[in-house]
Amino acid sequence: MRELGATPMQSPVNWALLGLIIERPSYAYELAHRFERTYEGALALSSVSHVYTALTTLKGRALIEEIPGTRAGRQPKPRYRATAKGHADYRGWLLGQLAEDRRRQRLFVLQLSALARKPEAALEIVADYEQECLAEAANVPIGDHDGAAAEGTPALVSRLVVEEHRLAVGAKLAWVQYARSELSRAAQAPAPRR
Amino acid sequence: MSLLSLKGVSKRYADGPRERVVLREVSLELAAGESVVVWGLRRSGRSTLLRVACGIEVPDSGLVCFDGRDLAEDGGGVLGAGIGYCRKAFRSSEGQTAREEVMVGLLARGMPPSTARSRAEAALERTGAKDCGDLRLSELDSGEAIRVALARTFALRPRLLVVDEPVSGVDLIERDGILTLLRSLADEGTAVLASAGESTGLTGADRALTLGDGELRSGPAPELARVLALRPSPARQASG
């Protein structure tokens, strides 16, 4: 039988839950509530029991451990904390997300290049892509943080998320200008001789 | 009827021996209370578009109308009254305070000094630069400088505020405050036409457009950007 830790953990829910435990050791029920608050709109639990399944997986992979002594009493409620391996793997996974973003973006461009022989069609897709980017850019929430006065981790995290989003859209808009310029040139070039 | 209307506007510049088309048959409508931001790369023509839109530059062809009036015929009369073009640079003397800077345009229009002073104070307060009134212009940081520049234009009570790259050069942490201010001015009925070289500047716009190769392209009408509360409201703090 293959060891549980041999294959990389894929579930975004499991990784997100590990992040919460790294932030602060918690009970399962509390984790479910923190999960909903933190990842609202980005990631969803199918049910509260999803947390218990995820905790079992994280424990099986030695990414978390029960805090000793928390099972005492008539209704034991174990609390969980991250192991050193959990901290290290989580950092690795976060960095891996950058590669995943690059992979997705590369895939999009490669799929678009399937239309390279029909630059007019590719230009239409680029135009639609630009429209999506513009709508996204305008819809990014405005951070009402009154200058540098906003404090606390939630405010900081919100600012980081918003700024990452805005800068990413800006890069895409710049790419659209470049792609349009290249594709327009290709559209005007004489067709290759067969 | 649109407050501002550009129809088939074209503009070319000589670029050495060549001719560069900056605006190619550009059309744009802007309603009262609407916020429109034009994004473009460097040298895309976004600043030219804004100057043409408020009558500072005359297009080679096409029509620019403000409130139904052709700017080619009545540009001088509208700029500074109905249209406020916000220059970010200060050309005033070294020792001038922010309040005096805001008052200059009002005094030049014949307003009595006491009225100009109170109007300037109100404009500085509205743009979040109330505490900057006594500061010298050279003492303002980037965020304060744009707020004072906006106050100088806003004091003239324009119906259309035109501003080139309002958040360019402003600290990241200060940018949302400027964008929130522009959004609120639009919500109060002042149309806003702005440009952006960075995507941050598109936040909060009713419509976002791009300008490239002389062509203006519009995005779909987005939902109004929600304001993200980054600090607990007093009510929540009290209950928590």
Structural tokens at position A103: 């992979």
Percent residues over pLDDT 70 in chain B: 86
Q: What is the pLDDT of residues A45-103, one digit of tens each?
A: 888 889 999 999 999 999 999 987 776 676 778 899 999 999 999 999 988 887 888 88
Q: Is the pLDDT of residue A187 over 70?
A: yes
Q: Which H or E run includes A142? A: strand A142-144
Mean pLDDT value across residues B124-133: 94
Report the candidate in B8, B36, B7, B5 with the shortest Cα–Cα distance to residue B24: B8
Q: Burial level of A109, CB count in 10 A (0-12/13-18/19+)?
A: exposed
- Check pLDDT > 70 for residue B80: no
Q: A135 touching B, CB under 8 A?
A: yes
Residues paired with B65 in a beta bridge: B5, B70
**Which residues of B lie inside 8 Å of A (Cβ-Cβ)?**
37, 39, 41, 44, 143, 172-174, 176-177, 179-180, 183, 198-200, 202-210, 212-213, 217-220, 222-223, 225-231
At residue A41 the predicted structure's pLDDT band, cuts being 50, 70 and 90, is: confident
Determine the Cα angle at B26 with ends B20 and B29, to 5°. Answer: 150
The amino acid sitting at B40 is G
Torsion of CA B209, B210, B211, B215, to 10 degrees: -80
Q: Which pairing describes strands B18-30 and B4-15: parallel, antiparallel, or unpaired?
A: antiparallel
CA distance A164 to chain B (A): 10
Q: CB–CB of B202/A167 below 8 Å?
A: no
Q: Which two tokens mark B31?
A: 């309603």
> What is the C-alpha separation between A164 and A156, in angstroms, rounded?
12
Q: What is the pTM of this model?
A: 0.76
Band of pLDDT at residue A134, cut at 50, 70 and 90: confident
Q: Which residue has the higher pLDDT, B132 or A3?
A: B132
Residue B157 tokens read as 């009570």
Q: How many beta-carbon contacts under 8 Å exist across A and B?
A: 119
Whole-angstrom Cα Rg for chain A: 23
DSSP B152-183: HHHTT--SEEEES-TTTTS-HHHHHHHHHHHH
CB B136, CB A105: distance < 8 Å? no
φ, ψ for residue B116 (rounded to 5)?
-60, -40
Neighbours of A107 (CB within 10 A): 10
Angle (CA) B215-B219-B225 rounded to 5° is 135
Residues 6+ apart with CB under 8 A from B188: B33
Residue with tokens 């894929």: A10
Q: Find tokens 């600012």 and name the residue.
A: A159
Q: Which bin fits B136, alpha (ψ -120 to 50), beta or left (φ > 0)?
A: beta
Q: What is the pLDDT of residues B175-195, one digit of tens each?
A: 888 999 999 999 999 999 999
Tokens of B28: 């744009």
Q: Six-digit token pair at B92?
A: 């005033």
User: Hey, what are B144's tokens?
Assistant: 């304060």
Please give the CATH architecture assigned to the domain spanning B1-82+159-240: 3-Layer(aba) Sandwich (3.40)
pLDDT for res B89: 82
Q: Which residue has the tokens 């900056």?
A: B22
For chain A, give every domain's residue range.
4-87, 115-188
- Report angle CA B125, B129, B130 to the nearest 5 degrees: 50
Q: Do B208 and A138 touch (CB under 8 A)?
A: yes
Domain A4-87 fold: Arc Repressor Mutant, subunit A (1.10.10)
Contact B126, B180 (CB under 8 A): no
In this structure, are residues B7 and B27 in contact, taking their beta carbons and an 8 Å threshold? yes
Q: Is A7 on the interface with B (CB under 8 A)?
A: no
Q: Distance (Å, rounded) from C-alpha B102 to C-alpha B150?
A: 9
Q: Is B208 helix (H, G, I), strand (E, B) or coil?
A: strand
Which chain B residues contact residue A183 at CB under 8 A? Answer: none
Backbone dihedral angles phi then psi of residue A66, each to the nearest 5 degrees? -75, 145
Structure tokens at A88: 């290290």
Give tens-digit pLDDT for B18-67: 888 899 999 999 999 999 999 998 889 999 999 999 989 999 999 999 98
Q: Among residues 163-182 of chain A, which lie with CB inside 8 Å of chain B?
A: 163, 166-167, 169-170, 173-174, 176-177, 180-181
Taking a C-beta distance cutoff of 8 angstroms, is the pair B76, B216 a contact? no
* ipTM of model: 0.72
- Ranges of each domain in chain B: 1-82+159-240, 90-157
